[in-house]
Amino acid sequence: MKLLHVTPAYYPSYNYGGPVQSVHSLCKALATKGKDVTVYTTNFNGEKKAFVPLNREVIVEGVKVYYFNLTIQSRYAFSIPMLMAARRSIKNFQLIHIHTLFSFPTLIFSFYARRYGIPYIISPRGMLIRSMIEMKSPVKKKGYIFLFEKKNLVNASSVHCTSVTEKDEIESFRFPVKNVFVVPNGIQLKDFNSLSHKDYIYKKYPELRNKRLILFLGRINWKKGLNLLISAFAFVVKVHSNACLIIAGPDNEGYGAEVKRKIKNSGLKYIDYRLRKSLSDFNKKDAPNGDVIFTGYLEGKEKHAFLSGSDIFVLPSYSENFGMSVVEAMACKTPVIISNNVGIHRDVERYNGGIVIENTIDNLCRSMKRVLEDETLKRELSKKGLSLVNELYDADISAGVMTEYYKTIVDRHDASYIR
């Protein structure tokens, strides 16, 4: 079976957000299982284009990837080279898996799949959450849904969701879609078997030695609830003076400036390591004291060091269709505190794998203090969170389940074509 995955952005373009990681994890697991997987994407990477080879096959960790140049630099990912590739080669594939909505790649590949009678799946990746539609550009998004996305979804062979929460949201639209199924995102568990030690953190961030670390890992975006987290942390640090909030991730849509204003207005100090010219700018002798540390985007050993070395991981999002960083934190045995707006909150509650809260400053403050002050609770959350990841969020298992859906869809399509 020849599979084509279509997405506006792909590894290593993490400025686009969580779907980049989850889609790559799925494709990599499928390729490892011997599936014929190809990815069509663009070189979108936030405000700048990703530095990647264009218009030719590139092997990225075992996955065949084609990056196409953006014609207009925007999140919509308008690309004439991608349009030409869709027209030229879509008939070479047996199934198209399209990721996310409100994008040019989704529009053109849905159109050509219908034109040439090729079955396709759409994964909205959190783009059909009503609260998010209402919070930002609601008129524009509702108009786009009415003009384009409804037709794309209704004519899709299936709609894939990564959580039951997302499935409920999509079904609330009452579109006559053929089938909606849930397969969660997964991580490569072997990547978390050997994790970096806290000393790895201290080499680069000497001021964090002897600190209690509270980690936020994700895009610095308004929907992540950082305004609530900063307000809650301002109360926590009054009681736990050695607490330090780590904000790890790329700035998105310039929201970082608003976050810094919030920090100052809350009476806190921050250090932005993204502004350092070299690793020697700060050393143990003159390391400044900051209540909040901006690290910028983290990957590899440094990312794992913070995930495993932090005392708490916090994600108070206003909307989150899944929560990949939550899964990674639990895989590192770090206690998690998440809002009930995070897609996997039901699984976390069912396994007692973390603390799930109504998204308020008071709830955040009390939950962070509770974990910092109760070592028994911390150990229990660590243990149950890891159990949850091992049972539900293994990328290889998710890829196996997804493969069965792919086979069913293609077989059903072939049978109807013969008739």
pLDDT by residue for the chain (419 residues), tens only, comes to 899 999 999 998 877 667 898 999 999 999 999 999 999 999 998 878 999 999 999 999 999 999 999 999 998 999 999 999 999 999 999 999 999 999 999 999 999 999 999 999 999 998 998 888 888 889 999 999 999 999 999 999 999 999 999 999 999 999 999 899 999 999 988 888 876 678 889 888 888 999 999 999 999 999 999 999 999 999 999 999 999 999 999 888 789 999 999 999 999 999 998 776 444 444 444 344 679 999 998 988 899 999 999 999 999 999 888 999 999 999 999 999 999 999 999 999 999 999 999 999 999 999 999 999 999 999 999 999 999 999 999 999 999 999 999 999 999 887 765 55
Element (H, E) at 315: strand 312-315
Looking at residue 39, its pLDDT comes to 98
How many residues are recorded in the chain? Answer: 419
The neighbour count for residue 115, using CB atoms within 10 Å, is: 11
The tokens of 292 are what? 């909040």
Distant-in-sequence, close-in-space partners of 280: CB < 8 Å, separation ≥ 6: none
User: Domain span at residue 151?
Assistant: 2-186+395-418
201 and 326, same domain (yes or no): yes
149 and 12, same domain (yes or no): yes
What does the alpha-carbon distance between residue 277 and residue 344 come to, in Å, rounded to a whole number?
Answer: 39
- The count of structural domains within the chain is 2
Find out whether 39 and 27 touch, Cβ atoms under 8 Å: yes
The tokens of 7 are what? 């997405």
Q: Distance between the two ends of the chain, CA-based, in angstroms?
A: 21
How many Cα atoms within 13 Å fall on the side-chain side of residue 221? Answer: 21
215 and 347, same domain (yes or no): yes
The tokens of 312 are what? 């708490």
User: Residue 124 — φ and ψ, nearest 5°?
Assistant: -65, -25
Backbone Cα Rg of the chain: 22
Alpha-helical regions (H) of 116-192: 130-135, 138-144, 150-154, 164-171
What does the alpha-carbon distance between residue 377 and residue 370 come to, in Å, rounded to a whole number?
Answer: 8
157 and 251, same domain (yes or no): no
**Residue in the block written with tokens 């953190």:** 201
What does the alpha-carbon distance between residue 220 and residue 248 come to, in Å, rounded to a whole number?
Answer: 8
Looking at residue 289, its pLDDT comes to 63
What does the alpha-carbon distance between residue 142 and residue 135 come to, in Å, rounded to a whole number?
Answer: 12
150 and 61, same domain (yes or no): yes
194 and 119, same domain (yes or no): no
What does the alpha-carbon distance between residue 384 and residue 166 come to, in Å, rounded to a whole number?
Answer: 24
156 and 297, same domain (yes or no): no
118 and 217, same domain (yes or no): no
What does the alpha-carbon distance between residue 395 and residue 188 come to, in Å, rounded to a whole number?
Answer: 6
**Residue in the block written with tokens 């509270």:** 214
Residue 218 gets the label, from left (phi > 0), alpha (psi -120 to 50) or beta, of: left
pTM, full prediction: 0.89
The tokens of 218 are what? 């994700």
- Residue 134's identity, in one-letter code, is E
Q: What are 357's strand-pairing partners?
A: 339
CATH code of residue 362: 3.40.50.2000
206 and 337, same domain (yes or no): yes
What does the alpha-carbon distance between residue 108 and residue 40 come to, in Å, rounded to a whole number?
Answer: 12
370 and 407, same domain (yes or no): no
384 and 413, same domain (yes or no): no
Looking at residue 276, its pLDDT comes to 61
Q: Which residue from 18, 98, 14 is spatially nearest to 50, judged by alpha carbons?
A: 14
Residue 100 gets the label, from left (phi > 0), alpha (psi -120 to 50) or beta, of: left
Q: Which residue from 188, 171, 189, 172 is spatially nearest to 180, judged by alpha carbons?
A: 171
The tokens of 365 are what? 């403050």
387 and 285, same domain (yes or no): yes
